[in-house]
Chains A and B, each alone.
Chain A
Amino acid sequence: MNPGSQPIKSRRWRYGDFLRRALFLTALGAITGAANAACPPATTDGTTITRGEITLAWRPLQVDAFLKSGRIPMARHFALEVQLCDKNGVSTAQLVKADASMPAHKHGMNYRPTIKPLGNGRFRVDGMMFHMAGQWQLAFEVQAGKEITRLTHDVQAD
Chain B
Amino acid sequence: MTFRRTEHHRSRRVLATLLFLVAPAAAAEPDGFSASELERIASHGPWPTEWLRDAGNRVSANPAAIHLGQRLFFEPRLSANGRVACATCHDPARGFQDGRTTARGLVDGTRNTPGLLNVRHQRWFGWDGGHDNLWSASLRPILDRGEMSGSAARTATLLRGSATLACQYRKAFGKAPAATDPELLVNVAKAIAAWQETLVSPPTPFDRFRDALERKDLAAAALYPAAAQRGLKIFLGRGQCSTCHAGPLFTNGEFGDIGVPFFIKPTGVDPGRQGGVKRLLASPYNLLGTHNDDATRRNATGTQYLRPEHRNFGEFKVPTLRNLTLTAPYMHNGTLATLRDVVRHYSELDEDRLHADGERILKPLNLSEAESADLVAFLESLSPDAAPPAPAKPPAVAACR
Q: What is A's interface to B at a CB cutoff of 8 Å?
A: 63, 65-66, 69-72, 74-75, 77, 104-114, 126-127, 131-134, 155-158
Contacts and interface: CB of A to CB of B under 8 A. Distances in A.
B252 A132 contact: yes
A111 B1 contact: no
B111 to A, nearest CB: 21
A112 B309 CA distance: 11
Contacts of A75: 246-247, 252-254
Nearest to B273: A110
Nearest to A105: B360
Given A63-B298, A74-B43, A75-B254, A156 B306 contact: no
Contacts of B309: 107-108, 110
Contacts of B242: 133
A72 B52 CA distance: 20
B1 A156 contact: yes
A77 B311 CA distance: 21
Contacts of A155: 1
A127 to B, nearest CB: 3
Given A66-B50, A71-B4, A74-B252, A114 B40 contact: no
Nearest to A113: B305
Nearest to A77: B301
A65 B40 CA distance: 22
A107 B1 contact: no
A71 B3 contact: yes
Contacts of B298: 63
Contact of B243 (A113, A127, A134, A156): A134
Q: Closest 4 A-B residue pairs measured CB to CB?
A: A127-B305, A75-B252, A112-B307, A111-B305
Contacts of A113: 305
Contacts of A107: 309, 311, 357, 359
Interface in B241-255: 242-244, 246-247, 252-255
A71 B39 CA distance: 14
A72 B1 contact: yes
A112 B244 CA distance: 20
A36 to B, nearest CB: 27
20 contacts: A63-B298, A66-B50, A74-B252, A75-B247, A75-B253, A77-B302, A105-B360, A106-B357, A106-B360, A108-B307, A108-B309, A109-B307, A111-B302, A111-B306, A111-B307, A112-B307, A127-B301, A131-B253, A132-B243, A156-B2
A110 B43 CA distance: 22
Contacts of B255: 110
A112 B305 contact: yes
B366 interface: no
A105 B244 CA distance: 12
Contacts of B246: 74-75, 132-133
B304 interface: yes
Contacts of A77: 301-302, 305
A109 B254 CA distance: 10
B327 to A, nearest CB: 22
A19 B260 CA distance: 58
A107 to B, nearest CB: 7
A19 B43 CA distance: 53
Contacts of A106: 357, 360
B361 interface: yes
B305 A70 contact: no
Contacts of B302: 77, 111
A132 to B, nearest CB: 5
Contacts of A74: 43, 246-247, 252
Interface in B212-226: none
A124 to B, nearest CB: 13
Contact of B1 (A114, A131, A158): A158
Nearest to A99: B307
Contacts of B247: 74-75
A65 B120 CA distance: 16
A71 B40 CA distance: 15
Interface in B15-36: 36
Interface in B232-268: 242-244, 246-247, 252-255
A105 B362 CA distance: 10
A156 B40 CA distance: 13
A126 B52 contact: no
Contacts of A133: 242-243, 246
A104 B306 CA distance: 22
Given A75-B246, A77-B305, A107-B309, 15 more contacts: A70-B3, A71-B4, A74-B43, A74-B247, A74-B252, A106-B357, A107-B311, A114-B305, A127-B305, A132-B243, A132-B254, A133-B242, A155-B1, A157-B1, A158-B43
